[in-house]
Amino acid sequence: MVLRVIAHLSETEEGGPKEVAVELDDFTLLFFETVMAELKAKLGIDSSAPFDYLEYEEDGYPCNVRTDEEIQSLTNDDHNPLHIYLKSSRHHHAISDDFILNSSEFIMKQELATGQFGTVYLAEDIRHGRMVAVKSIIANLEMAKMQQEVEILSEVRDCPFIVQFFGAIFEDDHIKIILEYMDGLSLDKYGSLPINVHGVSSVAVVNALSFLWSKSIIHRDIKPSNFLVNTNGDVKLADFGVSRTLEFSNAFTGVGTAIYLPPERIKGGAYSVSSDVWSLGLSLTEMALGNSLWTPQNDSFNIVSDFSNYIIENLSKICQEINAIDSDLQALISGCLKPIPNERIAFFDLNKTKFVKKYSTVNKKVVADFVLNKLSVNAGFV
């Protein structure tokens, strides 16, 4: 099989667009790196040029390609080649010197969580007189990815529904990412949310995702443990790749991200905005029911694909449970959990759904009272 593509390079040293027709054979398509090398060669750019992913459009959505599995999912029809764009994370997310901080300005207070590559601390920001969260990541092969996450965080820091990024400390063996401290931690700790708290939280998450998508950023790790809350009643989205290794919640260690993947992604398909919509639907379901539909103790879900199939086969039953809580929430969730990507609610229509519109006037006091009550009832809650 030969995959016919038109490779585009929109960012060149000369500032002008470039494109070239390329035929990729089966051997080249085995690996992401061989495809990238072939496209760079055909476009006449240096093999060391910092392009680290590809993008194409499917059903009107931008799809990113970064892995061998995603490369092998690419197809084109009999008549038209597939248009692919070489992209660079670094071209789009340059970090300003204003965000480079000094470690002497922070005093580590206590450990909040630990993971394979580092630790999350509560720290005092001496210069500004505030408490912050510090993600300290050990330098290793993941360091380039962490650098990219810092760059993305610096770009989205002005969104009020995303955990604020204050800067980063670059050391010989660590990178420390300084973030707003959310003293209520993550929503996965709160069980079933009252419908008004759920509504306000859902609006915040949808607003955060809409902001990301407007900047062509796909979160790729949407789940309740990445929805953070504080005692002021703010609900904010966190973790843009770093959350795969460092989490405030230890729930579902090792498979926490995988179980939120949509059917097409489990089968090796490319990740698109519609994939984020599926993950959002599962997350909203958990927040309503108070628990995940998957547990490590359930022997029937030995592999992630079993869980995906379970969701598809039992969607009607799941929606009946949600409908008993709120019919508008049920409509939103069922629209997100369509097995076929282009049948899901379009990302730009999420804000138009009845449930989101009903709570669009965010009442932070509802969330603040709920969080404060939980904290007062159980001092060891978080």
The residue extents of the domains of the chain are 3-89, 97-180, 187-377
Among residues 221, 234, 239, 276, the one annotated as catalytic is 221
What pLDDT is recorded for position 145? 60
Averages of pLDDT over runs of 10 residues in the chain (382 residues) are 83 60 87 88 79 77 75 74 80 62 92 73 95 83 62 83 91 85 92 96 95 81 91 90 32 48 73 85 94 62 67 86 95 94 91 95 92 79 54
What CATH fold (topology level) applies to the domain 3-89?
A: Ubiquitin-like (UB roll) (3.10.20)
What pLDDT is recorded for position 238? 87
DSSP string, 263-325: HHHHTTPPEEHHHHHHHHHHHHHHHHHSS-S--TT-TT-SSHHHHHHHHHHTHHHHHHHHHHH
What homologous superfamily is domain 187-377 in, according to CATH?
Transferase(Phosphotransferase) domain 1 (1.10.510.10)
User: In the CATH scheme, what is the code of domain 97-180?
Assistant: 3.30.200.20
What pLDDT is recorded for position 10? 61
DSSP string, 46-96: -TTS---EEEEEETTEEEEE-SHHHHHT----SSSPEEEEEE-HHHH-PPP
Q: Is the pTM of this model over 0.85?
A: no
The verdict on whether 68 is a catalytic residue reads no
